[in-house]
Structure 1
Amino acid sequence: MLRSALLIALLLCSAGLVSAQPKAETVTSKGGVVVCVSPPAADVGLAILKEGGNAVDAAVATAFAMAVTWPEAGNIGGGGFMMVAAPGKAPTCFEYRETAPASAKVDLFADGKVTWLNHKAAGVPGTVRGLALAHKKYGKLEWKTVVAPAAELAEKGFVVNTALAGGLNRVLADPKTTNVAFKLTYGKPNGETWKGGDRLVLKDLGRTLRIIAEKGADAFYTGELAELLDKEMKAGGGLITKDDLAMYKANEREPIHTTFRGFDVYGPPPPSSGGVALAEMLNTLETFDLKAKDRWSPETSHLVIETMKRAFVDRARHLGDPDFTKIPVELTTKDYAKKLAQKIDTRKATPSADLAPEIKLNTESGSTTHFSVIDKDGLAVSNTYTLENSYGNRVVVRGAGYILNNEMTDFNPRPGFTGTTGEIGTKPNQIAPGKRMLSSMTPVIVLKDGKPYLVTGSPGGRTIINTVLSVVLNVLAFDMPVDEAVSAPRFHHQWLPDVTRFEGGKTHPELVMKLKALGHTLVEHRQGDAHSILIDPKTGVRTGAADKRLDGKAVGE
């Protein structure tokens, strides 16, 4: 989880395992483009485009395929956000965040006995209903047509590449992975480790996907599949019931919108914190002349880090499920950003504890995936969805074959306890029945003169917002080509702990030295996986950039 991520970063750095960022893989096309972490899923999305589907059809097909081919985060047992920009229409957001079961209590995690590997950590899954809602409004092809390729991949099997093999081997070897169904589903029959070129067959998942393809999204939330999840919950002491499933609803919400240097930037609204935080940071940084200094100057980097701190303070203070929490509208305004900018000391770092004196600090001491799609007609999709931790809670629903999320851990675990190491306990994101936990997912679509210009997003827990900020700034403020924007090193500061992550310590040692002189504490750690598309407004050429920090493929018509 994120509370241990900084310790991991320090270990990686001391072991010399952190290296320069790999160069993004690109594809150019005047037709449709799909970019995602899983090559087989990217191929599925492209095939749907070639079959006459639009970007939403391809996105839905890609998402279901990734539930098969990228099981650490691709899912039908989790949730997420899909941004859609249709030609001639204002962008919209399909929100399918998980919800807390009706029996969930505010202090579920307070005593530490319920962990992220527990059945109780699972929220009510939203992915299937969310994808169906987007498809109902924008899809061209039949539902069955866009879901069936994923079912076939699971039923017939697919070739495991080295990235997936490494992930499977790691999680299967972890002594914390104790769920028998998980081991039976994802372990090799002979007990050997996975290697590139092996074939993975997921019969139960294939059958579940076939039912969803034939009977529609409701089949996941009622009937046989709901019975299987209900049975799994009872066997494992979980909280989700058939009533929770039947009552789940995905939403179409108005995105968060701001402008930056003549561009229109759209991101997801609460219960995602991503759109609000990104808008706040862009508005703040717009008040400075960023081009006056080099992209990697200490002056520019200091401003970016200090801006990140302030946005994450507001995230802790104010953000949560809008159906339960009143969120100040001023957070995304230009006037508010100017006030924040005026309080940034350009000569030294502001201690994080000084930014929110009203929040009592105690001294006691995730895996997502993103993909981007655009079709030949300019319909653009930016989708981020997740199981939370890598492979969720590592529980496979017996008979149904899919992995459950552990998204309940995205609520603030101990009411009233905010720790200096990163645990937040403020009220807006405390557990309540039916409530949607706060998310950092930040799928973004940037428009230029009303047309898609940049489609981007990333996995990475709380680091997601700052990864997206980095890519957006690289393109909009510093005019980087999209492959360079995606490959460039990234900063992350989340208010607490008062530490800045930076991927570029080895390539920018002088910058690190100068930032430390300004009072910043830095550690080095790989961050994000930002599969992006840039559209040239003059030529119409689309450049898809697959971020190769994990794996990925960019394909075009």
Structure 2
Amino acid sequence: MDKSKYFIYSLHQILPMKKPIIIALYRILFLPIVFFTCSISYAQTYGKNGMVVSDNILASEVGIDILKKGGNAIDASIATAFALAVTHPEAGNIGGGGFIVLMKSDGEVTTFDFREKAPLKATSDLFQDADGNLIEGSNHETIKAVGVPGTVAGLYLAHQKYGSLPWAELVQPAVDLAEKGFPMTWGLYQVAMRMSELDDSYDIMKNYFRNENGEIIQPGEIWTQAALANTLSLIRDHGHDGFYKGPVAEEIASYMKEKGGIITKEDLAKYEAIERKPLKGTYNEFEIYSMPPPSSGGVALIEMMNLMELADLEKIEFNSTAYVHLVAEAMKRAFADRAEHLGDPDFNPDLPVDRLTSKAFAKMRFENIDMSKASLSDSSRYGQLYDGSSTTHFSVVDKDGNAVSLTYTLEHSYGVKMGSSKLGFIFNNEMGDFNPVAGVTNSRGQIGSSPNLIAPEKRMLSSMTPTIVAKDGKPYLIIGSPGGRTIINTVFQTVLNVLEYDMRIDKAIEAMKIHHQWFPDEIRYERHLLSPDTRDALELMGHKLRAVNNLGVLMGITYDSRLKVYIGAADSSSEDGAAVGY
């Protein structure tokens, strides 16, 4: 980011602390500069030559700068991802993992799987007591909940296969952000206040947002991260081996041993990302590309879009009772199938992916949707009844039409909230995404099916759903979201909003969303966005409803073939997110 934009960004963070007259002058004098100079928008923005939409304005700018230097979409994605590891530590990471969907300018599509793995010492009963019951919280809140991180390996593999600029040039902006610092945002400051109250077991988080004097960094003050800058410098200079071998790997293994974890240097040395064939579905004239297992997102998305293609949506008004009911029923079926069948394909060679994503399977599922009443979820029968939660996403496109949809995660917000202060980053708690107890599936949402049980070197099932929709062989929609299991459904509804209801990208992202995941058997809806009359009608049909504040934080790009321009939008629920185009 150039100095003028950095200055404007700094003012934006400190202004809420200043007097009203200064705020008024800022709005009159500086806001026009922001919109004119930076091509940044918190709603919808346009770009002829490229677009980056992420959870942090600084990271989006880093990606755009790489595109301006002649880098392609993969280059920009790598730079953006590392920048988010500095500016969006809630989920941007080098201590977690994720997925990339890449559509090249020639129409070829591929994916990269850098999902975390279970350590070699992991066992199927890792989180069980002597009686075989799940030890509450153990699979999310302890050091054994950490999976072997995959982010650096995934980004490096993508660069080796499809990058164009030197690796070091892509990591350097993140090094600069960590070393020189950036203004503390109000969103991060609120987190810092909460983290300061944690007990000492969450070692890194107690002091994560503090300066050398032990004081919490105030909004607008510069936050530097020297330890993280050093770690990123090693990754910059040594690529994959800068993380999985040498000083970083040694410190990870030492920290794990000290805290009672089970990740070793051998785990790190053996970790490799994988390039996989994408899942492909269709919806009318559109082609949908998404992640295959170990992500469940692509399978569920395509299954639900196939179901909606069978409905007569011209007669079902958007957000009507009939619409919400139909969408919820589609979600129930897809999540029941997810729970029963999906897991790491390297451990489950016979996953029925082709069947679950077929039009014939959707027809069978659709035939028993009763538009007058809700179906009941049954924990003993999975999908048989229907026979006959912190992550971040960003979207990138370059001037040549190469498109990237990238979602990566630490699982919970700030992962396990542990990490070595010598390394400066936070570990994931992704082991919680395995099924913890074989055969135990209950109404609280615990799943016990065999494809996703814990095993050494196995990748845990994910809900991440990075997606690219193509029209006439070119990127038409690039979309994704954080949100745990809700990811699948927020992406699904946004894709449906654009393809079926022809919504512009910002409206599609902001439109009311619901979520049903089979178990618990309830529709979660965004508070104040579903009318009381609709709620009453749904309850009379047998649905249970629960209000939540927000579902998803979507980052999307569409292409307008008439204007020949990319249009990007960042979800307004993102504190610091922005679409940046040029």
What range is the shorter-chain TM-score in? over 0.9
CA contact (8 A) 1:422 1:496 kept: yes
Cα distance between partner residues in 2 of 1:357 and 1:492: 18
Q: Secondary structure at the match of 2:66?
A: helix
**Counterpart of 1:146?**
170
Task: Confirm whether residue 214 of structure 1 aligns to residue 237 of structure 2.
Answer: yes
Q: Deviations over 1:95-145 (max 9, x none)?
A: 100000010010111231734222111111000010011111111110000
Task: Confirm whether residue 76 of structure 1 aligns to residue 86 of structure 2.
Answer: no
CA contact (8 A) 2:183 2:219 kept: yes
Task: Confirm whether residue 380 of structure 1 aligns to residue 398 of structure 2.
Answer: no
Cα distance between partner residues in 2 of 1:244 and 1:207: 22
Task: Confirm whether residue 344 of structure 1 aligns to residue 369 of structure 2.
Answer: yes
Match of 1:173 among 159, 176, 197: 197
CA contact (8 A) 2:467 2:478 kept: yes
CA contact (8 A) 1:24 1:486 kept: no
Task: Confirm whether residue 555 of structure 1 aligns to residue 573 of structure 2.
Answer: no
Task: Confirm whether residue 488 of structure 1 aligns to residue 511 of structure 2.
Answer: yes
Q: Give the 5 Å matches for 1:389-468.
A: 389-468=412-491
Cα distance between partner residues in 2 of 1:261 and 1:277: 18
CA contact (8 A) 2:340 2:382 kept: no
Cα distance between partner residues in 1 of 2:458 and 2:382: 28
- Bigger Cα Rg: 2
User: Shift of the alpha carbon at 1:417?
Assistant: 1.1
Task: Confirm whether residue 294 of structure 1 aligns to residue 312 of structure 2.
Answer: no
CA contact (8 A) 2:415 2:426 kept: yes
State the AA in 1 paired with 2:48: K
State the AA in 2 paired with 1:140: S
Q: Deviations over 1:205-224 (max 9, x none)?
A: 00010111111121210111
Cα distance between partner residues in 1 of 2:415 and 2:527: 29
- 1:195–1:518 Cα change, 3 Å: farther
Q: Secondary structure at the match of 2:364?
A: helix
Match of 2:143 among 95, 115, 119: 119
CA contact (8 A) 1:387 1:405 kept: yes
- 1:115–1:254 Cα change, 3 Å: closer
User: Shift of the alpha carbon at 1:499?
Assistant: 0.6
CA contact (8 A) 1:261 1:477 kept: no
Q: Secondary structure at the match of 1:46?
A: helix
User: Shift of the alpha carbon at 1:356?
Assistant: 2.4
Q: Deviations over 1:380-399 (max 9, x none)?
A: 00000000111111112242
Cα distance between partner residues in 1 of 2:384 and 2:50: 48
Task: Confirm whether residue 50 of structure 1 aligns to residue 68 of structure 2.
Answer: yes
Match of 1:334 among 347, 350, 359: 359
**Counterpart of 1:104?**
122
State the AA in 1 paired with 2:97: G
Q: Secondary structure at the match of 2:53?
A: strand
**Counterpart of 1:12?**
none
Cα distance between partner residues in 1 of 2:218 and 2:406: 29
Task: Confirm whether residue 155 of structure 1 aligns to residue 173 of structure 2.
Answer: no
Cα distance between partner residues in 2 of 1:25 and 1:446: 21
CA contact (8 A) 1:26 1:544 kept: yes
Q: Secondary structure at the match of 2:81?
A: helix
- 1:359–1:425 Cα change, 3 Å: farther
**Counterpart of 1:63?**
81
Cα distance between partner residues in 2 of 1:298 and 1:116: 37
Cα distance between partner residues in 2 of 1:376 and 1:180: 44
Q: Deviations over 1:396-450 (max 9, x none)?
A: 2242111111111110112221110111111111000010000000000000000
Task: Confirm whether residue 519 of structure 1 aligns to residue 551 of structure 2.
Answer: no
Aligned residues: 529
Task: Confirm whether residue 249 of structure 1 aligns to residue 272 of structure 2.
Answer: yes
CA contact (8 A) 1:228 1:398 kept: no
Cα distance between partner residues in 2 of 1:242 and 1:192: 35
Cα distance between partner residues in 2 of 1:168 and 1:416: 40
Cα distance between partner residues in 2 of 1:77 and 1:506: 36
Cα distance between partner residues in 1 of 2:192 and 2:83: 17
Q: Give the 5 Å matches for 1:354-365.
A: 356=381
User: Shift of the alpha carbon at 1:195?
Assistant: 3.9
**Counterpart of 1:317?**
340
CA contact (8 A) 2:514 2:526 kept: yes
Task: Confirm whether residue 536 of structure 1 aligns to residue 560 of structure 2.
Answer: yes
CA contact (8 A) 1:482 1:532 kept: yes
State the AA in 1 paired with 2:425: Y
- 1:354–1:238 Cα change, 3 Å: closer
Q: Deviations over 1:266-294 (max 9, x none)?
A: 11000000000001100011100112121
Q: Deviations over 1:284-337 (max 9, x none)?
A: 111001121211111111111000000000001000000112211200000000
Cα distance between partner residues in 2 of 1:294 and 1:345: 17
State the AA in 2 paired with 1:556: G
CA contact (8 A) 2:434 2:461 kept: yes
**Counterpart of 1:272?**
295
Cα distance between partner residues in 2 of 1:386 and 1:463: 14
**Counterpart of 1:6?**
none
Identity of aligned residues (%): 50
TM-score w.r.t. length of structure 2? 0.88
- 1:511–1:193 Cα change, 3 Å: farther
**Counterpart of 1:199?**
222
**Counterpart of 1:135?**
159
Q: Secondary structure at the match of 2:174?
A: helix
**Counterpart of 1:9?**
none
Cα distance between partner residues in 2 of 1:39 and 1:497: 36
- 1:491–1:275 Cα change, 3 Å: same
**Counterpart of 2:19?**
none
- 1:49–1:184 Cα change, 3 Å: same
User: Shift of the alpha carbon at 1:190?
Assistant: 4.6
Cα distance between partner residues in 2 of 1:546 and 1:197: 22
- Unaligned runs of 5+ residues in structure 1 are 1-22, 361-365
Cα distance between partner residues in 1 of 2:302 and 2:264: 37
- 1:255–1:160 Cα change, 3 Å: same
Cα distance between partner residues in 2 of 1:185 and 1:499: 37
Cα distance between partner residues in 1 of 2:148 and 2:292: 20
CA contact (8 A) 1:505 1:512 kept: no
Q: Secondary structure at the match of 1:259?
A: strand
Cα distance between partner residues in 2 of 1:351 and 1:170: 39
- 1:178–1:187 Cα change, 3 Å: farther
Cα distance between partner residues in 2 of 1:436 and 1:100: 6
**Counterpart of 2:20?**
none
**Counterpart of 2:31?**
none
User: Shift of the alpha carbon at 1:517?
Assistant: 1.6
- 1:528–1:357 Cα change, 3 Å: closer
User: Shift of the alpha carbon at 1:182?
Assistant: 3.0
Cα distance between partner residues in 2 of 1:448 and 1:416: 43
CA contact (8 A) 2:392 2:407 kept: yes
CA contact (8 A) 2:139 2:431 kept: no
**Counterpart of 1:13?**
none
Backbone CA RMSD of aligned residues: 1.7
CA contact (8 A) 1:384 1:459 kept: yes
- 1:506–1:536 Cα change, 3 Å: closer
- 1:527–1:304 Cα change, 3 Å: same
**Counterpart of 1:91?**
109
